[in-house]
Amino acid sequence: MLPMNDILFIQHQTNMMYPEIIPMSLPAIMNRVHKRFPVRGYFLEELTETHLRNARILILSIHWYVSIKGAIQTADWAKRVNPDISTIAGGMSASVFYPFLLRDSKIDYIIRGDGDLPLLFLVEALLEHKDVSQIPNVAGREFVADEWQAADQDTLDSGDYRTLDWFPTLDHRIRRMHTRYNGKILPIHPLLATYRGCPMPCENCCGAAVTQKALYRRSPLLRSAGPVAADLEAYSDDRGCNFVSIYHDFASLAEESYTREVLGRHYDLDVYYELTRLPSPAMLRLIVETFRRGTIAFSLDVRHMTSCQLVDVPALIDAINLVAATGRFEPRLCYLRQGLKENKAYREAFEAVRQATPCTVYCSDWWWEEENPLPNSDGLCTEAIYHACMNNSNRYQAWNYLFRLSYLMNYHAPALNHTLKLFRYAYGGVK
C-alpha cells in the first residue's frame, strides 16, 4: 500500500545538474514543518494520482528560475487530479516573480522571502481551516500579507539542515552516492549551511548584501559557529557520509576566531571548499589540516569570479602551492574566459599562476553569462525578465545530460571516466 500524507513536497524537474540537488536552506525549512505535521517528499516521477487525491497540501520549491516551468506544470497536474489540494511555492525565484506565478499557474500561495516560519504558519492555518491572509510573507490571488518575517540569528541557528528522513528516496540516493564515492566530490547533500546571503558586493548575484535587503528585507546572516561545527561533527561521525561541500566560505569572510571554532577538530571527511576571497595562510593551513583530502577552489579576482579585479597574485601563487604541497588536496583556479579575452592584465596573471603552480583550472563565465533575475528595490522582477527566464529555462539541459553521464561513468567505470576526463569537462574545467 502506498504511504499517504496530508502534506507532499515534490522535487520537480529543475534542469540543473542532478535532481538530487536541493537548495541549501530547504532541509531546515521542511524539517521545521515536519516536526509538527508529517511531510513526505517525492521526486515527480514517483508521484501518483493516488498520492495527490489523498493529500491536502502540495509544496514546491522555485529557488532557481529554471524550475519555474516544472513547478507550474506540477501544480496544474495536482489541481486537475485534486481540485481541493492547496498548492504552495517558495524560494528566490518564486519571491521575485510572485505576481506572475499567481496569475499564470495553479499555485495558490507564494511564500516570499525567508520561508522558515511563514511556511509552518501557513501549513498550520490550512490544515486547521484558519484565515491565511495575515500570515507573514504570504501572497495569494486576492491578498498580499502586510506582515513580514525575516530570518534572524535564532531562526538560522535552530534549523535542522542535516535530516532528510521526510524525503526517503532523496535520502537513499544521496547515501548511495556517498557509499560509492571514489574521490570525486559531487555537489549534493551535505552542502554545509553557513551564510544566508553573502557579505560580498557582487553586482550580479542575489546573495549580495544589497539584493538581500531588497529580497529578504535583512542583511546577510552567518550561522553561529557552534551549530556549524555540530553539523560537521555529525557528518564526520556518520559512516554513510564521505564528503562535504562548502560553497559559502567563512575562512576568508568571517573572523578568524569563528573559523577556528568551526574547524576546531579533525573531521573524517573529504571536502570541496570554494574560497570567496584569499584567506590568510593560517586559515588555509587550518582547512587542509581539518579535512582528509579534497579540492580547494581559488578565484583569480577579488569579487568571487564576477570581475577582472585581480587578487594579490604572488600571494595567490603561494596559497596554491601551500595546498598542493599537502599531496592530499587539489588546488583549483577559477577564472573568467571573458577576462582572458578582454583584459591583458587578467590574462597575464592567469598565465603567471598556471606556470608557477600545479593547479587545475575551472572556467566560471556562467556568472557573467547567466541572466540572473535580479530584483528591484521592492524585491520584484519585471514581467520582461519573467518571460526571458521562462524562455531560457532549458539552457542547462545539454549540460545536465553531460553531468549525469559523467556521474554514471564515474559511478560504474571510474578508471575509464578518469581517462576520458568527462567528469572534469562536465564541470567546465580542464587540466
> Residue 19: inside a domain, yes or no?
yes
Q: Are residues 279 and 326 in the same domain?
A: yes
Number of independent structural domains in the chain: 2
H or E element: which one contains 398? helix 397-412
Q: Are residues 239 and 120 in the same domain?
A: no
pLDDT in tens, 102-130: 999 999 999 999 999 999 999 999 999 99
- Domain boundary (115, 144, 173) is at 144
Q: Which domain CATH number covers 67?
A: 3.40.50.280
pLDDT in tens, 244-298: 999 999 999 999 999 999 999 999 999 999 999 999 999 999 999 999 999 999 9
258, three cell numbers:
569563528
Which residues form the domain of 175?
153-430
Q: Is 363:337 a contact under the CB 8 Å cutoff?
A: yes
State how far the Cα of 365 lies from the Cα of 370, in Å rounded to an integer: 8
Looking up cell 571536502, which residue turns up? 271
Q: Are residues 103 and 173 in the same domain?
A: no
Bridge-based pairing of strands 329-335 and 294-299 is: parallel
Q: What is the pLDDT of residue 428?
A: 44
State how far the Cα of 165 lies from the Cα of 328, in Å rounded to an integer: 33
H or E element: which one contains 296? strand 294-299
φ, ψ of residue 127 to 5 degrees: the values are -70, -30
Q: What is the pLDDT of residue 364?
A: 85
State how far the Cα of 72 lies from the Cα of 66, in Å rounded to an integer: 11
- Domain boundary (119, 144, 169) is at 144
User: Which residues in the chain come in under a pLDDT of 50?
Assistant: 1-2, 422-431
